[in-house]
Every structure is written in structure tokens, then in C-alpha cells.
Structure 1
């Protein structure tokens, strides 16, 4: 007898439901051209795109946790063959409306519906913040599984302290009832997890908080060796 499929972990469903609930408000709060003021982020995206192109692989890039799709669209302008994946169906609908020429799919970064070694690159920008500590190692291992040898992964996240991960649970955002967890992590700890998953660290940058921000922003670029 085949055991029943247990389905996704509860945090996946909670994250999906929460972002489905706030999609319209999120779209009004964060403009499509929001990258224009993010100089460091755009520089990182440019370096990442150059490295992926230089690897010579024809495999596409996946933007995991693509939300409204503006980062996916920016990566496309940098010459990458890229598609977006988001756990929220309503966010995917929004991204498709915003960027009708690009591909967006509903899916979870913790269990990608992709064969082994099919991606030339992965971006996960401010999306691993919703993955609990106990699920992060398996998620990073999943990233390595779907990357081709020589493929790159770019992570961005709000940094926590060196004393350990900080956890915040929100029950309301933009005036809507939600159930959403955030995990702020020490960049060195995440870099160590990347190494354990078989992804060699290439670059580590910490940007100090800018106007309207509370926490530093961490950027980690890693590579899957052959």
C-alpha cells in the first residue's frame, strides 16, 4: 500500500494564504520600479547575471519567491533566460499581469517541480526569511539539486544578530489578518549552511539599513561546483 502524500509543511500553506490575502495591498505599497533606488541590489544583480552568462550554460534561471515579478523582469533585461516561482497563486497572477511576456509559476522553493541539474542560476531574494530554521538545510540542498554544475545561487535577506536567528510572527499586515513567520539570520550562519549543502561561497556583502529600513541587508552569492 502506497503511503498517503503528507502534503506541504504547514508553514508553506500559512505563507501562501497570507500572501494571497495581502497581494493587492502589497502591490500598492511596493511600486514596480522600486529597484530604481536600490543601487547595491542592482549592482549585485548585474554581477550575478554576468557570472551566470560567463558560465556558458544555456539553462534558465529561477527567481524563487518572485512576488510581483519586478526582480524577474530586471534579470530578463540583463540578458538572462529567467522565470519566476512563488508559493502564492495570487502573487503569480499579479506578476503575470505586470509582466505578460515572462513566465511565472506557482510552486515552493522547498520542493521544486524540476529535474536534477536543470537551472543555470537561482535567486531567492527576501524569501528564505519565511523558511523555518529546521527546513533551511533541506531547502538549500534542493537549490543545489536543481542547479547545473557551475550554477550560481544569490540570496538576499534581512540580517539577524550573531547570537542566533530571530523569529517574528505577524498576525496582521496592511490591515488584513494573516499568519506569517519571519526569520532574521546571521549571514555567517547562512553562509555555513550553504557550504554544508554543497554550495561554495563566492561573495558575502552586508549593507547597512537605509531610510525606512530597520535591519542590515545580507547578500550571499554561492556556486555549485562540478
Structure 2
């Protein structure tokens, strides 16, 4: 079995989805520069980017640059999310958003709420996880599943009426509170599994032990 590095995953997502727009955010510009990925926009306070990479993008006349002070009320990822939504994105993939500092990861996780409020599904992807926020019932196909495990968490006050069908551990009309761990490490057992609920936001994490 071969393993994908974080960079391999990012490149695979970019190549397979062929996005209409690529936004390079702060340290993500190092990845873009090293892998010849041409962003349409670059943004951030640029405190984590190599000078060579920044100078290269600053020299490109068709790259739109949005520079911010380090002291600001929103994270670079949140600003990038807002830009993607203003550009009319209906799907957003956040790459390189899980490694490093946990406070940054939590901020990235919260940005999924912003996308959901605008009717856009956003995903955080790395070599072991695919993370998204559900604001309505959804259906999962076992043969298209990322990894072997599916976990569910409440992303708000609580999730009411959570019902899981086609899973190893089904639920019926369950009220999931924030502190609830009952949704961890479930598995799809039928060809098709469904997730339904009446109220709330469901954080869904598809994961695997090894990439």
C-alpha cells in the first residue's frame, strides 16, 4: 500500500475538480509556488510565506493580491471563505487546513458554518479526513465513501431528530448535544446510507486510519 502526502492530496483535488477559481492563502502560497499551481487570488498577512514565493506572485500582473494586517478581526481562511462566496462558489474545498496549530484548525472548522449559511457546501480535506457540515438530510454511497469511518457531531446548540439508516450503529429521532460522543466512528454497512434530522447543523467527518 502506498501513502499520499499532504501535497499529493492537494494536487489530486485540484486536478480532479478543476476549480474555476484557486485562492492562495498565506502559507498555502508556498505549496502553490512549489507545485506550479497558479492562484487567481492571493490573500493574507503573508507572515508565513517564503519571500521568494511572495515576490514571484507580486510580479505576476494577472494575479489579484489582497494584503491584510496581522492584527485583524477574522482569520485568513475566513477572509478567503468570504471571497469565495462573493465570487459565487457553490462548492469550496479547504486544503492544508488541518495541520499545525489547533486554534487555526478550530477556526477553519468554524468557517464551514459560514459556507452553510450561504447555501454552499464546503469541505476540509487532507490525506486521512474529509470534513463537511450538513444543514439538510443527505445520502451516502458505500462504494464512493472516503475511508472506512463516518462520525457525526452537533455543530451548534444541538441536533434534533437525528436518524441514521444503513449504518452499523443506527439512530432514530436522536437529540445530539454538543458534548455527545455517540456519533464517533460509525460505519456504512448498506450500499446506501442516509442521514436525516429536523433541526441543527451536523458536522460529518469521513476518515481512515492510513492514507
What's the TM-score once normalised by structure 2's chain length?
0.39
Of Structure 1 and Structure 2, the greater helix share is in: 1
The structure that has the greater radius of gyration is: 2
